A and B are shown apart, each in its own frame.
Chain A
Amino acid sequence: DAMVIQNPRYQVTQFGKPVTLSCSQTLNHNVMYWYQQKSSQAPKLLFHYYDKDFNNEADTPDNFQSRRPNTSFCFLDIRSPGLGDAAMYLCATSQSRVDEQYFGPGTRLTVT
């Protein structure tokens, strides 16, 4: 089945220790998104790639970076995680920016 895969599902990191979350897709979609979701809140868009074109949301902290080396993979790098960065990180894909988005299962990040 075509799908969106995120690894790891659970990640524990120390305050200030860089961490990378990964996402891969077999849907061959053009657009890949990273969202942050905290408990009982809506997913908050951090950035997205349309093909290789990177689009950062205005309020995404500089601490968050992303890479998309090819169509299938996208990475979220958190350079110096703070306690406030503990959240579920969701990757999603869509064929275009207005098409429905398909989400992965998420990576739950804990910062100690």
Chain B
Amino acid sequence: QKEVEQDPGPLSVPEGAIVSLNCTYSNSAFQYFMWYRQYSRKGPELLMYTYSSGNKEDGRFTAQVDKSSKYISLFIRDSQPSDSATYLCAMSARGNTPLVFGKGTRLSVIA
């Protein structure tokens, strides 16, 4: 079992839809959770950063962490064509451990 699982998609939604992106993980030591957005041929851009369980909201984006289920989500409200990108989840444990990335979910928002 991989440490981080993420459905690669592609996921196609109409403009204005609510998008739900998810990752599951197996390592209960993970405590730091991130979502990155990566446009084609560009570097990943940090969207959300959360520590431990709970929700965090930033504009149209909401990140949720459920450590009991080892499941994290990113919700995008009122999705726009400019949200079309690959979304990568990433996580790390306490101490000297680097980030572990999911493979990314490719999202297309159709106008």
User: Which residues on A are within 8 Å of B, measured CB to CB?
Assistant: 4, 6, 33, 40-43, 45, 48, 50, 88, 90, 92, 97-106, 108
Contact = CB atoms under 8 A, between A and B. Distances in A.
A41 B46 CA distance: 17
A39 B104 CA distance: 11
Contacts of A6: 43
B63 interface: no
Contacts of A99: 32
B44 A103 contact: yes
A35 B96 CA distance: 17
Nearest to B94: A98
Contacts of B49: 100
Nearest to B90: A101
B92 A97 contact: yes
Contacts of B103: 40-42
Nearest to B41: A108
Interface string B88-100: 1010111111110
B42 A97 contact: no
B49 to A, nearest CB: 4
Contacts of B8: 40
B101 interface: yes
A103 B41 contact: no
Nearest to A106: B43
